[in-house]
């Protein structure tokens, strides 16, 4: 299999994995939202603030360092594995004893056991981390498909069963913990790599030299994102936090399917080509054009259909989440710019530049957060939109020199998808004035949106449309010989 076919094959497997898992997760979230009250989601969101920050330390930037390194061997992987496991155990012990303090911060005593149980995900993720890096480095993304889907299905059944039996917030806890545990177990038994009885402090130091900058950058980004639920949870009502998080989660589910798939496959491929600037530039350009072509209409369509969709799927009690959902659709629509630019910087080995970008962005974004905090939760979401626009410029700036690929060139590559998506959204939004039921409105809006977007792609001869079609044709019966593993 040639390199291009291998990239496409692994991208398809990664995309199927994310789509399968997120579709199940989405369906489960709808069922749970109909069973549980919005206020029950707030305690989980509060605990997730802490576990999300700790998850950054689980990686320690070491997974990316293993992927970026040209020829990592068993000594590298084993050293990182033992370091991660020991470090995660220490993190959990600290979290266990800090649980009452976290509960006191939120003035919610019942958070203590939730923190201690959900904190176990940190330990499990520490065991899984190096296996994931090995799969990514060796381009065996099919393994992720079975592990992720297995964990998602098992946790779905468990979470819904517990919710129906009246376990309340503990149904959400069990769902999260069982998901990562089953996922890790399947990955452990299906991936051929096992840690060897070897350890090198020198190798670890070498990997940390690259990884600590990515760790610092990721920590800054995660802390900033988690500041929102943290401050909302402290300053505003639990229901406000639930609506904010629900509005953010829906577009995030779609973005993860596409953006995360491209991100995880392109980094190891770009890293292998780091000495050939032109090839990295072309891969970055193709990633921006293709992912924006797919993501833009999804975000535009979701924003237009938000109100009938929320009312139909989760009942009227969740309607206050609609404006948040629409704002985050705009934010996430431009994520291809962030992902592609940052991947290129990491692949070129410039973790120092990566860290400097994060420091600059977080200083600006934190200022915007502090300004908007006093004006309400929706103002905070709009502040994130402003931050996202600024971050686009900052992330793209280094690649003006590194890849000779400036921000204006990137916008030009995205322009066909942006303009076509806006036109599609404008046409589809007129259907709501017909005064039909939510079911009929959505049944007309969705196919109409798809038809307008495809027809526009054909009329305007958008090259990303032809590129996506060429990939799909290779997976039709009779055309699969190129992508066999």
Q: If you average pLDDT over residues 401-409, what whole number do you get?
A: 82
Residue 105 pLDDT level (bands cut at 50, 70, 90): confident
Q: If you average pLDDT over residues 22-29, what whole number do you get?
A: 74
Which of 334 and 265 is assigned the larger pLDDT? 334
**Lowest mean pLDDT across 25-29, 140-144, 383-387, 396-400:** 140-144
User: Is residue 69 in a domain?
Assistant: no
User: Is residue 90 in a domain?
Assistant: no
Neighbours of 266 (CB within 10 A): 24
Nearest to 83 by CA among 178, 191, 211, 213: 211
Total count of domains within the chain: 1
Residue 482 has pLDDT above 70, yes or no: no
**Collapsed DSSP state (helix, strand, coil) of residue 421:** helix
Q: Which residue has the tokens 């890096």?
A: 133
**What is the C-alpha separation between 414 and 286, in angstroms, rounded?**
10
User: Is residue 393 in a domain?
Assistant: yes
pLDDT of residue 324: 93
User: Is residue 188 in a domain?
Assistant: no
pLDDT of residue 476: 54
pLDDT of residue 77: 83
Q: Label residue 208 exposed, middle or buried (CB < 10 Å: 0-12, 13-18, 19+).
A: middle
In which domain, by residue range, is 264 found?
236-485
Neighbours of 48 (CB within 10 A): 18
**Lowest mean pLDDT across 20-29, 118-127, 199-208, 237-246:** 20-29
pLDDT of residue 278: 76
Over the stretch 148-205, which tens digit does the pLDDT of each residue have?
A: 888 888 988 898 899 888 888 888 889 889 988 998 888 888 877 788 888 888 887 7
Q: Which pair of structure tokens corresponds to residue 298? A: 């999804």
**What is the C-alpha separation between 235 and 49, in angstroms, rounded?**
15
DSSP 215-279: HHHHHHHHHHHHHHHHHHHHHS-HHHHHHHHHHHHHHHHHHIIIIIHHHHHHHHHHHHTTT-HHH
Nearest to 160 by CA among 315, 309, 17, 27: 27
Q: If you average pLDDT over residues 389-414, what whole number do you get?
A: 85
Residue 483 has pLDDT above 50, yes or no: no
Over the stretch 211-223, which tens digit does the pLDDT of each residue have?
A: 666 667 677 777 7
Query: Which are the contacts of 466, defined by CB distance < 8 A and separation ≥ 6?
Result: none
The answer to whether 145 and 206 are in contact (CB under 8 A) is no
Query: Which are the contacts of 234, defined by CB distance < 8 A and separation ≥ 6?
Result: 105, 106
**What is the C-alpha separation between 362 and 399, in angstroms, rounded?**
20
pLDDT of residue 372: 92
Over the stretch 441-455, which tens digit does the pLDDT of each residue have?
A: 888 999 999 999 999
Residue 117 pLDDT level (bands cut at 50, 70, 90): very high
Over the stretch 50-72, which tens digit does the pLDDT of each residue have?
A: 887 787 777 656 776 777 676 77
User: Is residue 248 in a domain?
Assistant: yes
User: Is residue 210 in a domain?
Assistant: no
Q: Label residue 478 exposed, middle or buried (CB < 10 Å: 0-12, 13-18, 19+).
A: exposed
Residue 5 pLDDT level (bands cut at 50, 70, 90): low
User: Is residue 385 in a domain?
Assistant: yes
pLDDT of residue 475: 54
Which of 200 and 11 is assigned the larger pLDDT? 200
Nearest to 395 by CA among 338, 471, 453, 319: 338
Tell me the average pLDDT of the chain: 80
**Collapsed DSSP state (helix, strand, coil) of residue 406:** coil
Q: Which residue has the tokens 């038994």?
A: 189
Residue 13 pLDDT level (bands cut at 50, 70, 90): low
Alpha-helical regions (H) of 138-168: 142-164
User: Is residue 469 in a domain?
Assistant: yes
Q: Which pair of structure tokens corresponds to residue 408? A: 């204006």
Nearest to 240 by CA among 250, 229, 249: 229
Residue 472 pLDDT level (bands cut at 50, 70, 90): low
Query: Which are the contacts of 17, defined by CB distance < 8 A and separation ≥ 6?
Result: 141, 144, 145, 148, 149, 261
**Lowest mean pLDDT across 173-177, 410-414, 464-468:** 464-468
Residue 255 has pLDDT above 50, yes or no: yes
Q: Is the pTM of this model over 0.85?
A: no
**What is the C-alpha separation between 302 and 300, in angstroms, rounded?**
6
Q: If you average pLDDT over residues 375-381, what whole number do you get?
A: 91
Residue 268 has pLDDT above 70, yes or no: no
């Amino acid at each position: 299999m040639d390199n291009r076919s291998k990239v496409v094959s692994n991208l398809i497997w990664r995309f199927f994995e994310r789509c399968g898992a997120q579709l199940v997760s989405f369906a489960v979230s709808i069922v749970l939202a109909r069973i549980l009250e919005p206020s029950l989601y707030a305690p989980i969101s509060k605990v997730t603030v802490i576990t999300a920050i700790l998850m950054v330390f689980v990686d320690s930037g070491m997974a990316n360092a293993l992927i970026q390194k040209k020829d990592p061997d068993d000594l590298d992987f084993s050293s990182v594995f033992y370091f991660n496991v020991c470090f995660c155990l220490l993190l959990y012990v600290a979290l266990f004893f800090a649980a009452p303090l976290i509960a006191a911060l939120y003035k919610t005593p019942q958070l203590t056991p939730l923190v201690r149980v959900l904190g176990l995900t940190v330990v499990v993720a520490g065991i899984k981390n190096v296996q994931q890096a090995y799969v990514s480095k060796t381009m065996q993304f099919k393994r992720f498909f079975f592990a992720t889907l297995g964990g998602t299905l098992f946790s779905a059944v468990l979470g819904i069963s517990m919710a129906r039996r009246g376990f309340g917030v503990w149904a959400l806890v069990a769902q999260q913990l069982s998901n990562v545990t089953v996922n890790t177990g399947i990955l452990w038994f299906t991936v051929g790599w096992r840690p060897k009885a070897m350890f090198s402090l020198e190798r670890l130091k070498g990997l940390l030299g690259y990884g600590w900058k990515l760790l610092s950058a990721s920590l800054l980004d995660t802390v900033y994102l988690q500041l929102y639920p943290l401050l909302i949870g402290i300053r505003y009502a639990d229901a406000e936090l639930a609506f904010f998080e629900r509005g953010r989660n829906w577009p995030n589910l779609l973005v993860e399917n596409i953006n995360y798939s491209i991100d995880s496959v392109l980094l190891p491929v770009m890293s292998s080509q780091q000495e050939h600037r032109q090839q990295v530039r072309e891969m970055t350009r193709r990633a921006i054009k293709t992912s924006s072509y797919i993501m833009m209409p999804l975000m535009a369509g979701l924003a237009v259909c938000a109100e009938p969709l929320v009312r139909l799927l989760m009942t009227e009690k969740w309607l206050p989440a609609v404006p948040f959902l629409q704002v985050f659709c705009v934010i996430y629509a431009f994520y291809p710019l962030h992902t592609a630019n940052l991947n290129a910087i990491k692949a070129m080995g410039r973790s120092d530049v990566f860290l400097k970008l994060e420091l600059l962005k977080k200083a600006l974004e934190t200022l915007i957060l502090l300004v908007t905090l006093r004006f309400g939760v929706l103002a905070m979401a709009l502040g994130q939109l402003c931050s996202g626009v600024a971050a686009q410029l900052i992330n793209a700036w280094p690649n003006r020199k590194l890849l000779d690929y400036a921000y204006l060139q990137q916008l030009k590559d995205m322009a066909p998808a942006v303009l076509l998506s806006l036109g599609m959204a404008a046409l589809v939004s007129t259907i709501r004035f017909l005064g039909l039921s939510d079911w009929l409105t959505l049944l007309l809006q969705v196919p109409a949106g798809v038809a307008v977007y495809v027809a526009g792609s054909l009329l305007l001869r958008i090259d990303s449309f032809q590129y996506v079609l060429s990939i799909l044709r290779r997976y039709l019966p009779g055309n699969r010989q190129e992508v066999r593993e």
